[in-house]
Amino acid sequence: MTGTFGGALEARGIPAGGGRLRSEVRGEVELDGGVLVLRRVHAAYTLTVDADADRDKIERVHGFHADKCPVARSIRDAIAISTSYELVAAPPDHD
């Protein structure tokens, strides 16, 4: 999902490469009939943005990216998927 989110951002002119987009993914497992089963996955993104970043565009991309991700689409009926994001200001350039 991180790749889909980053690719959609890049396609809309929002830089996500070079370490600007990071994710931390957590899965929650439950015991079901003596078997460990993955029930929930949460991806927390951190995106480093410039001061002039289009925050509305980022929000729109975040809203649809999971529906465009092949992996998320493949597992969403069996595993609950959630995402969140945090924007971090890019440090000023030092020449």
Residue 47 resides in a domain: no
Residue 57 resides in a domain: yes
**84 is in which domain, residue-wise?**
2-38+53-89
Residue 65 resides in a domain: yes
User: pLDDT tier at 57 (50, 70, 90 boundaries)?
Assistant: very high
Q: How many domains does the chain have?
A: 1
* 80: three-class secondary structure by DSSP: strand
The pLDDT > 90 percentage for the chain reads 94
Quote the strand ranges of 1-95, DSSP E: 21-32, 35-49, 80-89
Residue 48 resides in a domain: no
* 54: three-class secondary structure by DSSP: coil
Residue 10 resides in a domain: yes
Statement: residue 23 has pLDDT above 50: yes
Residue 46 resides in a domain: no
Residue 27 resides in a domain: yes
22: which DSSP letter? E
pLDDT tens column, 59-95? 999 999 999 999 999 999 999 999 999 999 998 774 4
Residue 43 resides in a domain: no
